[in-house]
Amino acid sequence: MSSETLRSSSKTGIFLISVTGGIGVALSVICIPFVSPALRRICLPYVPATTQQVDNVLQALRGRTGRLIDLGSGDGRLVFAAASNGFQACGVELNPWLVLYSRLSAYFRGLSPKTEFHRRDLLNFNLSSYDNVIIFGVPQMMEEIEKKFIAELKSDSAIIACRFPLPNLKPIRIIGQGVDTVWIYQNPRKVDNRVDLHPSSGSI
């Protein structure tokens, strides 16, 4: 084998190592919240919404208007779906790689004017100006986020919970089944919208 061929092979090897190394680092960053339960209260695991789940969310939003926010927006697919259906849509995500990907994707889709993405802790992001909220949460943080909804959201706001329901509020509607289930809640400040956690023994 000639020295020129060896140099060429060496350069190719270095390039492949750099590319695969970069992909490995990116995947590690994305997967850390998924494999570290201690972080899940503030940083949700990246689990992309299925096509059916997106359809269920859009069905839940039918007839709604106003500003929309997706908490734990991941790759932005729910934000893009909402923006394509007339909403001014916002995504909040702690993972910087996913925020960057979402912003670039919004640009190439022509949806930048109708979307925005923030790298923030969703528990510290003020929700008072939003009319519709999507939460793709995990059990470790649902009770805390529910208290935040009650404290900050407008009285006529709608909440759409994906994958896991809120622990105490009573849904007005449930769409889908299994991992694609979405729970819809309205008027989160109303006391009578809460589930009775200690029902009487008698039944009607």
The pLDDT tens digits of the residues spanning 66-89 come to 999 999 999 999 999 999 999 999
Q: Which of 184, 159, 83 is nearest to 91 (CA)?
A: 83
pLDDT digits (tens, 9 = 90+) for 3-41: 554 455 444 444 433 433 444 445 445 444 444 444 444
pLDDT number for residue 47:
73
pTM of structure: 0.73
Query: Could you tell me which residues come within 8 angstroms of residue 200 by beta carbon, excluding any fewer than 6 positions away?
Result: none
Residue 92 has pLDDT above 70, yes or no: yes
| pLDDT reported for residue 187 | 74
**Counting beta carbons within 10 angstroms of the beta carbon of residue 17, is it exposed (0 to 12), middle (13 to 18) or buried (19 or more)?**
exposed
Average pLDDT over residues 118-137: 93
The answer, yes or no, to whether residue 200 has pLDDT greater than 50, is no
Chain segment 93-116, per-residue pLDDT in tens: 999 999 999 999 999 999 999 999
pLDDT at residue number 2:
52
For 40-72, how does the pLDDT look when each residue is reduced to its tens digit (9 = 90+)? 444 556 778 899 999 999 999 999 999 999 999
CA-based Rg of the chain, rounded to a whole angstrom? 21
- Maximum Cα interatomic distance, the chain, rounded to a whole number of Å: 89
| pLDDT tens-digit series, residues 148-186 | 999 999 988 999 999 899 999 999 999 999 989 999 999
C-alpha 69 chain-centroid distance? 9
